[in-house]
């Protein structure tokens, strides 16, 4: 029970960090943090859907594949993560406004928060949804790095975003992906140091 509580607590933190980075640093510049975010920005641009709803809609189809490939537990955790991220994006984009001094600082900030968030989700048995799902499927089959596979898939969507909205978006998105995918891999593979608890007989005799 204690382990389960810790797992879901970390998932909520990871999903919030992901949504925080997307809504406050990346979305104000129409920069997609990933493939699903790219689709969400396009739906917002074309149909004027809210970014939070668009993000959930973009993830819905991939969750069906996740159910068959990864099972109920992983998919359930991913649904919770996607819902938390979508609600975070919906709330922050409508309620919080921060000054954007420099776009490259925003890209760096968004990449850090997004990368840590997604890394925590993957490490604790879930994902941020979207293109992470096919990326994990390919990575597990080919034994490749999940972050690098995700970057390759997302490039196609970034190019489409750049054609529809602004050609500069693809450059900014690639910079974001470079930082965030490396952070994702670092968080996923980071080994926590073992802490040796002191006992009453710890002193050498």
Quick one: pLDDT band at residue 20, thresholds 50, 70, 90? very high
Average of per-residue pLDDT across 82-109: 86
Quick one: pLDDT band at residue 193, thresholds 50, 70, 90? low
Exposed/middle/buried for residue 29 (C-beta within 10 Å: 0-12, 13-18, 19+):
middle
Q: Which of 141, 89, 80 is nearest to 110 (CA)?
A: 89
The answer on pLDDT for 17 being more than 80 is yes
- The predicted-structure confidence for 107-145, as pLDDT tens digits, reads as follows 999 999 999 998 999 888 887 777 777 777 787 777 777
Spatial distance between the Cα atoms of 100 and 3, rounded to a whole number of angstroms: 40
Place of tokens 């510049």: 29
What pLDDT sits at residue 147?
66
Spatial distance between the Cα atoms of 188 and 185, rounded to a whole number of angstroms: 5
Going through the chain in order, the beta strands assigned E by DSSP cover none
What pLDDT sits at residue 197?
38
What pLDDT sits at residue 192?
57
Return the CA Rg of the chain.
Answer: 18
| Cβ atoms of residues 125 and 31 within 8 Å | no
Return the top range by mean pLDDT from 22-36, 52-66, 78-92.
78-92
What pLDDT sits at residue 3?
86
| Cβ atoms of residues 127 and 195 within 8 Å | no
């Amino acid at each position: 029970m204690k382990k389960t509580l810790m797992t879901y607590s970390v998932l909520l933190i990871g999903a919030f960090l992901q949504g925080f980075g997307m809504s406050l640093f990346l979305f104000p510049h129409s920069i997609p943090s990933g493939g699903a975010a790219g689709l969400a920005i396009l739906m917002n641009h074309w149909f004027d859907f809210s970014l939070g709803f668009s993000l959930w809609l973009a993830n819905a189809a991939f969750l069906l594949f996740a159910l068959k490939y990864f099972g109920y537990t992983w998919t359930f955790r991913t649904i919770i993560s996607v819902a938390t991220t979508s609600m975070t994006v919906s709330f922050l984009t409508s309620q919080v406004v921060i000054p954007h001094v420099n776009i490259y600082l925003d890209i760096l900030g968004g990449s850090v928060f997004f990368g840590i968030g997604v890394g925590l989700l993957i490490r604790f048995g879930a994902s941020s949804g979207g293109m992470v799902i096919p990326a994990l499927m390919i990575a597990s089959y080919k034994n490749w790095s999940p972050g690098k596979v995700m970057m390759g898939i997302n490039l196609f969507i970034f190019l489409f975003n750049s054609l529809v909205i602004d050609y500069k978006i693809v450059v900014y998105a690639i910079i974001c992906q470079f930082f965030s995918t490396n952070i994702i891999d670092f968080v996923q593979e980071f080994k926590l140091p073992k802490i040796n608890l002191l006992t009453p007989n710890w002193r050498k005799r």
